[in-house]
């Protein structure tokens, strides 16, 4: 009987080789593979146990839901977005993960999960940071970095002023170095604006040069900011800006859809109305005495004076025109109403506004003034580099 031996080069036996079955070899391989798969399954199971499903809702400071808010797990590529009700659902790798909440027009917020499965998130508008930006010609700068002679006001400065029906009257006394002269106080009248008492300034509304009438036809509710460029700060506009430039930026939409309605009702009255002589007889008598003292004679006869004194003749009666004016036209109403809706995403923003203003006169209905405005600003990102 032959034995299977392994021999070295000298013919000496090394070890005995016994015949093996294929089944035993496969069994060893399968055992090793099963062990490896078991380890992998255990690792996956442990990882799945660490994951946490976080659901939440995102609103603004007013309580309006925000649609399309980006919700991302910080440090990972995992993310989600809020639906039409402002709700989101995202898988966090562990209970100590941090969610980064970002939305156009709002401050980005980092929210620790802290083991929670339901989170209520409130985003604050980033509009407060816009107030520090001043339009300077074809660009903008932060207020603290401006070195030129530039003055500016925002919508908050003129939104609550209802002293007149035009923007120029609302700006009076709010900008240093700018004078406002109003020739009369009839409804709808505008003030003449001069920068450093020199000529007529150039008006630029949303980067388009306009005249003063277009400026005064703007509704104050639609204005975001007004910058006044003086001296060398206006040089970017060339020769036409020799008397300064008034740059107007109208409102744009951002963030969640908002609907605003603003109304005002006020009454105009005489600030000072002197007492006048309302008796016709006294008036004519004093007039006759004045003519005698001045010229030595008068054309007013005693018969006429008697008729004024009696007051029976319709042509010689007294009439209190002061009381007539005050009684019929006192408390002349001034009212305005504005309705607008705005909003936007990272691809599109919109702002649409309608305003109606009505101003009565303390001198009668023949001086009524009424104006209606429709303003819209729509911006869309059509393609990369095209807006």
Note whether 163 and 205 are same-domain residues: yes
Note whether 221 and 314 are same-domain residues: no
What pLDDT is recorded for position 144? Answer: 41
Please give the Cα distance from 185 to 303 (Å, whole number): 42
**Rounded alpha-carbon distances, angstroms, from residue 234 to 102, 140, 175, 176, 198:** 37, 13, 16, 16, 14
Domain that holds residue 375: 258-271+331-380
Render the burial of 315-345: b for 16+ CB within 10 Å, e for the rest: ebeeeeeeeeeeeebeebebebebebebbbb
Per-residue tokens: 100:
């980064």
Note whether 172 and 64 are same-domain residues: no
In a 3-state reduction of DSSP, which class is residue 26?
helix
- Does residue 219 contact residue 174 with C-beta atoms inside 8 Å? no
14 lies in some domain = no
Please give the Cα distance from 216 to 288 (Å, whole number): 50
115 lies in some domain = yes
Note whether 174 and 206 are same-domain residues: yes
How does DSSP assign 122-189, residue by residue? Answer: EEPBSHHHHTTEEEETTEEEEGGG--SSEEEEEHHHHHT--SSSSHHHHHTTSSTTEEEE-S--STT-
Note whether 373 and 303 are same-domain residues: no
Half-sphere exposure of 128 (CA within 13 A, CB side): 4
| DSSP category for residue 298 | -
224 lies in some domain = yes
**Rounded alpha-carbon distances, angstroms, from residue 294 to 283, 284, 297, 298:** 16, 15, 8, 9
- Does residue 172 contact residue 194 with C-beta atoms inside 8 Å? no
**Each residue's pLDDT tens digit in the chain (387 positions)?**
445 555 555 555 554 445 555 555 555 555 555 555 555 544 444 444 578 899 999 998 888 888 888 899 998 888 888 888 889 999 998 888 999 998 877 889 999 999 898 999 999 887 554 445 555 555 555 544 444 577 888 888 887 777 678 888 888 888 888 888 888 778 888 888 888 888 889 999 988 888 888 898 898 889 888 888 887 777 778 888 888 899 898 998 888 888 999 998 988 887 777 777 888 999 999 999 999 999 989 989 999 999 998 988 888 888 888 777 776 667 888 899 999 999 988 888 999 999 999 988 887 777 888 999 999 999 888 887 777
Residue at a domain's end among 84, 103, 125: 125
Give me the number of domains the chain comprises: 4
What Rg do the C-alpha atoms of the chain give, in angstroms? 41
In a 3-state reduction of DSSP, which class is residue 279?
coil
């Amino acid at each position: 009987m032959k034995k299977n031996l392994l021999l070295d080069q000298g013919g000496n036996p090394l070890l005995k080789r016994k015949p093996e079955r294929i089944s035993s070899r496969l069994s060893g391989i399968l055992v090793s593979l099963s062990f490896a798969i078991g380890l992998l399954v255990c690792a996956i199971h442990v990882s799945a146990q660490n994951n946490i499903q976080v659901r939440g809702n995102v609103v603004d400071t007013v309580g309006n839901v925000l649609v399309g808010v980006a919700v991302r797990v910080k440090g990972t590529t995992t993310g989600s977005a809020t639906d039409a009700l402002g709700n989101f659902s995202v898988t966090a790798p562990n209970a100590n993960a941090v969610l980064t909440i970002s939305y156009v027009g709002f401050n980005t917020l980092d929210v620790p999960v802290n083991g929670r499965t339901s989170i209520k998130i409130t985003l604050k508008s980033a509009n407060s940071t816009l107030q520090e930006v001043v339009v300077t010609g074809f660009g903008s700068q932060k207020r603290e970095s401006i070195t030129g002679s530039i003055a500016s006001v925002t919508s908050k400065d003129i939104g609550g002023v209802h002293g007149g029906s035009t923007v120029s009257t609302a700006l009076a006394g709010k900008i240093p170095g700018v004078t406002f002269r109003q020739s009369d106080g009839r409804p709808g009248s505008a003030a003449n604006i001069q920068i450093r008492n020199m000529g007529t300034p150039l008006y630029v509304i949303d980067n388009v040069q306009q005249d003063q009438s277009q400026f005064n036809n703007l509704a104050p509710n639609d204005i975001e900011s007004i910058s006044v460029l003086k001296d060398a700060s206006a040089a970017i506009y060339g020769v036409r800006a020799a008397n300064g430039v008034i740059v107007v930026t109208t409102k744009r939409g951002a963030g969640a859809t908002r609907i605003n309605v603003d109304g005002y009702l006020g009454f105009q009255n005489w600030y000072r109305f002197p007492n006048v002589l309302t008796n016709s007889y006294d008036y004519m008598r004093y007039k006759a005495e004045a003519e005698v003292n001045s010229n030595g004679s008068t054309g007013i006869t005693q018969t006429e004076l008697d008729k004024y004194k009696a007051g029976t003749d319709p042509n010689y009666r007294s009439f209190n025109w002061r009381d007539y004016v005050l009684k019929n036209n006192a408390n002349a109403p001034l009212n305005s109403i504005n309705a607008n809706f705005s909003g936007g995403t990272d691809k599109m923003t919109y702002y649409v506004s309608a305003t109606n203003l009505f101003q009565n006169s303390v001198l009668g209905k023949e001086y009524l003034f009424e104006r209606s405005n429709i303003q819209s600003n729509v911006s869309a990102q059509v393609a990369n580099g095209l807006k």
